[in-house]
Structure 1
């Protein structure tokens, strides 16, 4: 049996130890406030560390208008936050923590160390030096009046800070802490939450046995299209379908049931393709002809055969097929297998400072807000930017003298 305990409340409580929560805590501490960080898992930054295992993509170096466009319909709401923490600011922030950065050929920005762990260690050392109080294995369970309630190893705890920042994550990678269970608590409290849906997720395709030798093979130098969305990049053929950074930006359209088309020769026009395909092939098979005149990889040729066999013999028809190969699919992979999620607290429920309109002094940040973005630095930048924005506005709320304890 657990007992209720009441802890002495700090000025501010940040719930969630991911990038958004840590940035909110940083902003509040920088403003001179006492901050307690509550994290449900045994340690902070678990999803952050996992994302950095193959190279931590901090942000994207590109013209700012193009950068903003990656956020789709959420761009107008996110714009002031991203202007306050631009890709250049992200790089300066990382270097201020002793982590030099470099920019790859596609504009992706990485720490020189590539991994997330050195950056997280330096960040936590900074926060600890500023006086951050940390509690792990504290799972937020809702509100009791003005108080936040937590399940902890010591029993049920309550805290009644003057402000709180909730950075509870989305609903993917539940084992790392983002299980979306908080949405039920919000709904019970009368706060609307848009349903969670997969974003940056692989695509389910039912392959024939002929594709098995190509599982794990990359599709390079192709362009993906779904609805009005277009993305040039790479994907990998997997046993369950397709996955990869080139495909992820199409998630909003694919989630709505749009078909997928792949341009297998994006650097050539249909007319140029037709000219090459019309060259005499003698006794060569069509597959060998495609390999020689177009330099299509074995995986690309296999995909073409899988989705369009029998191929048309007319060069013009075949050229147009190569420019828009339809790939039948069964939609995106399940929610918990997605890198991120759409859905969450709608911006309409928040004021300009990311404070819940129906609960003064309670701010939201990060993936728990209803926005989405492709991988490639966009996700992390917006998590950091919204965390900083919420933390600064929470600090301003404290300075205004408002709140339950004022």
Structure 2
């Protein structure tokens, strides 16, 4: 009787993509070690789940795939092999039942990342997966074997694996481990890379001292933002340097691209998207002209003081009810630049499709597979990021199994 060989696989990175790859490989009988330069696993995953872990999205096809833009066809196979329904079933298998919110976002009922991560790590431990924290990947040796060191520069002693999976994340939130430093290592191998760019980011606005000092940190609720032909309803927050928040993140890719090509871009802010222009005009016409602008806005449109400040940021506020209503429905906000890479929720750029084969193996380094945010794709928040990270992590693991079994 012939016994199937046991392959050893080294995974670099303990984010969702790396852990997803480890689960596939360990279940298949591989000996798996996951190395990470941070002292504990899943740090960005835990941070993302602090305000409610958004696992995936129940949006139906083809709208779901369209969220990945030009990368949808590249990711299609991986996404078809791990669908949103499969993500939910996977969470349930870890005793984390889910529910779907009114926006289509899917959350574990616990709403936190920590219970799911604990259950996931427990499963991986049962499967024999070894975690190697405080371990940094520094590249390859002359035989294209991965080289890892401890923080003090001492070699780790991790044995040469049969295959390697890189799941090092993008270039945002560097304090949690994903600093994009791996790009320099890959560039030395002439591996095709797209430059890093902020995705799902806030934007810079040159506020007046009054607005910045008084209203930084103030939320803008139940608003609508329009850029070009796209309108997004949701919320945003005034910051000292500009604006951020979910509604703005959904427009960040076209806004970023427009600013890169043409300089500052103008965003249209509707402070009362639930009121028709005619209704708002009628309400404003019933207020007394002698009243302060703040009182008129509060009584007629139920707008907070920050709305008054935003209207005044653009210059003289119209006096007539009709003109004021139009101004409330389309406040121009001039965005000068995206926030820095490190402040962005995610990043575009990274390893291009040309650099890998259909199994996410680096063409320049056979036996090394890549996944997650290291790849050059982007998607809005709302469950799409985590879905693609885990899908490509699993696909890279299956690609490694196919390559090993050849």
Task: State the TM-score, normalized to the length of structure 2.
Answer: 0.90
Moved more, 272-281 or 165-174: 272-281
Query: Among 312, 315, 319, which residue is 1:309 paired with?
Result: 315
User: 4+ runs of 1 displaced by more than 4 Å?
Assistant: none
- What is the CA RMSD across the aligned residues, in angstroms? 2.0
The equivalent residue for 2:398 is 392
Say which SS state the counterpart of residue 294 (structure 2) adopts. Answer: helix
Q: How does 1:187-266 map to 2 (within 5 A)?
A: 187-211=187-211, 212-256=213-257, 257=259, 258-266=265-273
Q: Measure how far apart 1:240 and its partner are.
A: 2.2
Q: Is this contact kept in 2: 1:214–1:299, CA < 8 A?
A: yes
Give the structure 2 partner of residue 185 of structure 1. 185
**Structure 1 residue aligned with 2:82:** 85
2:335 is aligned to: 329
Instruction: Give the match's secondary structure for 2:17.
Output: helix
Whole-angstrom distance in 2 between the partners of 1:345 and 1:215: 37
Q: Does 1:22 align with 2:28?
A: no
Change (3 A) 1:71 1:156: same
- 1:281 aligns with 288
1:320-347 alpha-carbon deviations (Å, 9 max, x no partner) = 3333221123212111111111110012
Is the 8 Å Cα contact of residues 263 and 322 (structure 1) preserved in structure 2? yes
Q: What is the count of residue pairs matched by the alignment? A: 391
Question: 1:254 Cα shift?
Answer: 2.4
Task: Please state if 1:106 is matched with 2:103.
Answer: yes
Shift of residue 310, structure 1, vs aligned partner: 0.7
Return the alpha-carbon distance in structure 2 between the equivalents of residues 69 and 185 of structure 1. 32
Deviates more, 1:211-220 or 1:313-322: 313-322
Distance 2:100 2:311 in 1: 34
The answer to whether structure 1 residue 36 and structure 2 residue 33 are counterparts is yes
Structure 1 unaligned spans of 5+ = 1-8, 401-406
SS in 1 for 2:274: coil
Change (3 A) 1:383 1:283: same
Question: What is the CA-CA distance between 1:159 and the residue it aligns to?
Answer: 4.6
**1:35-89 superposed Cα distances (whole Å, 9 cap, x missing partner):** 1211111111111111112221111222232222222222222222222222221
Contact 2:55 2:387 in 1 (8 A): yes
Partner Cα separation in structure 2 for residue 229 and residue 349 of structure 1: 33
The answer to which of 152-161 and 380-389 deviates more is 152-161
CA distance in 1: counterparts of 2:336 and 2:289, whole angstroms: 39
2:145 matches 1:147? yes
Structure 2 CA distance for aligned equivalents of residues 82 and 230 of structure 1:
27
Partners of 2:185 and 2:191 lie apart in 1 by: 9
Contact 1:10–1:36, Cα closer than 8 Å, also in 2: no
CA drift at 1:229: 4.1
Deviation of 1:305 after TM superposition, in Å, equals 1.8
- Match of residue 117 from structure 1: 114
Residue in 2 that maps onto 1:5:
none
Alpha-carbon separation, structure 1, partners of 2:51 and 2:102: 17
Contact 1:57/1:108 (CA < 8 Å) preserved in 2? Answer: yes
Q: Deviations over 1:112-134 (max 9, x none)?
A: 22221111111111111111122
